[in-house]
Amino acid sequence: MSHMTEYLGNIMKTRVARKSFAPVQLTWTHLGVLYRVAAWPDVAVETLHEGAWLPAELDPASEIVAGAAAMLDRRDWEAYFEFVPARERLFLETFRLGRMAALIVIARCPGLFDELVDAPALTSFIAAHTRLRGCVRTAWAEIAAIYERSGIFGVLTWLGLPATRAVLETLQNFAEPDIAKRLLDRVRESLWSPLAPALLRANAPLSENEVAWRCEVIAA
């Protein structure tokens, strides 16, 4: 092997190594507009405008974020997860359609992560806080301040949920933590019912269809 061949081979190995260890971004389009999310732990969101990437603050309950579920496949997420800590990765892997929303929530509310690990379904309510609260824009700083001041029960109250340990235990029983948007209001209303502990807490985790049916029973 010539010195030049060996030299070129070393360059290629270096390039491959750099490529392998470079943090991966998640990129998708919505209505013809390109978006990307930076690697963990920054998870900064940008949008492409006239050839330049500009900062963007996305509401995790928006259709733009929901569109990521259709555009990003298993390989995209596996590559991204290589640079995410194991505990956060395991948490995010429990989400399907709401994975991007969950990623944004735990990146913007790191202080809440342990609470969300205990009751993953609560993530869906936090992701939808702008709609549930009627906010004009996302309120991450306010959520962090409420949690620091009043703990998880303060956050439950702020979201319009009963501030009880029973509610957290009920949410732990949801087999699918990414609750469909169409069910959030029904679940929230049902959790206020005295029937909720009996109907929404079962011996086995509840599927989305079971949750929907039990909410109908409570509302009847």
Digit-coded pLDDT (tens) for 130-164 = 999 999 999 999 999 999 999 999 999 999 999 99
Mean pLDDT of 118-128: 97
**Per-state percent for the chain, helix, strand, coil, to nearest 5:** 60, 10, 30
Average pLDDT, the chain: 89
Q: What are the strands, taking DSSP E only, across the chain?
A: 26-30, 33-37, 45-49, 52-56
Q: Give domain limits for the chain.
A: 23-85, 109-220
Residue 12 confidence (pLDDT) above 50: no
Residue 23 confidence (pLDDT) above 80: no
pTM of the prediction?
0.86
Q: What is the largest CA-CA distance in the chain?
A: 82
Mean pLDDT of 51-68: 95
**Cα(55)–Cα(76) distance, integer angstroms:** 22
Nearest-CA neighbor of 191 among 119, 115, 114, 131?
A: 119
User: In whole angstroms, how far apart are CA 90 and each of 77, 148, 187?
Assistant: 12, 25, 25
Burial of 209 by CB count in 10 Å (0-12 exposed, 13-18 middle, 19+ buried)? exposed
